[in-house]
């Protein structure tokens, strides 16, 4: 799976050459970048963030989107326990919101968005643990 082991770290991005075919828009901000650009100079996008998602780098944005279902974003980032806790927490919150919605003729539904926002913020902020944990050198004999 490591077929393209690109190791040239000091290859200068050839953004001066303006051949239109070699450009790609930044997936985040749309800034035109050289096709082999490793990162965008206008935003946070890096190629690693998008292409290595499957192997060790979770995307904050994806975690937020997945948090539409509370907990899914956390599970995506490798926080399975936290994900299940958020998911479990959504049940009493959902029941409470439902009761509040009945009592307030529907307006209580809005309360659930506060829970969703909290989940999304947390999913965004939490470190991703997708990467396998480093074996700490336990050299204490």
Binding flag, residue 31, Zn ion (CB under 5 A): yes
37 binds Zn ion (CB under 5 A): no
Complex with Zn ion: residue 49 or 116, whichever CB lies closer: 49
CB < 8 Å & 24+ apart, contacts of 107-110: none
Q: At its nearest, how many Å lie between Zn ion and the CB of residue 97?
A: 37
Which CA distances in Å does 92 have to 15, 35, 86, 99, 117?
54, 49, 11, 11, 16
Q: Taking a C-beta distance cutoff of 8 angstroms, is the pair 65, 73 a contact?
A: yes
* 28 is an interface residue for Zn ion by CB under 5 A: yes
**Interface segment toward Zn ion; rule CB under 5 A; list 9-17, 43-51, 112-120, 129-137:** 43-51
C-alpha span between 21 and 36 (Å, rounded): 12
State the CB neighbour count (10 A cutoff) for residue 90. 18
Q: Which is nearer to Zn ion, 25 or 106 (CB)?
A: 25
Q: Which range touches Zn ion (CB under 5 A), out of 34-42, 51-59, 73-81, 106-114?
A: 34-42
Contact 43, 51 (CB under 8 A): no
What is the phi/psi pair of residue 25, to 5°?
-75, 145
| Closer CB to Zn ion, 26 or 65, in the complex | 26
For position 43 contacting Zn ion by CB under 5 A, the verdict is: yes
| Identified binder of Zn ion from the candidate list 14, 15, 25, 42, rule CB under 5 A | 42
Binding residues for Zn ion, rule: CB under 5 A, are 26, 28-29, 31, 40, 42-43, 45
């Amino acid at each position: 799976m490591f077929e393209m082991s690109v190791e040239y770290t000091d290859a200068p991005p050839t953004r001066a050459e303006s051949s239109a075919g070699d450009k790609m828009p930044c997936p985040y901000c749309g800034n035109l970048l050289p096709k082999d650009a490793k990162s965008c100079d206008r935003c946070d996008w890096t190629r690693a963030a998008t292409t290595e998602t499957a192997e060790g780098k979770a995307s904050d944005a994806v975690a937020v989107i997945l948090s539409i279902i509370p907990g899914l974003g956390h599970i995506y980032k490798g926080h399975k326990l936290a994900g299940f806790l958020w998911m479990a927490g959504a049940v009493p919150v959902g029941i409470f919101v439902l009761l509040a919605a009945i009592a307030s003729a529907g307006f209580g539904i809005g309360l659930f968005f506060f829970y969703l926002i909290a989940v999304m913020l947390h999913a965004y902020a939490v470190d991703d643990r997708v990467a396998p944990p480093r074996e700490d050198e336990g050299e204490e004999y």
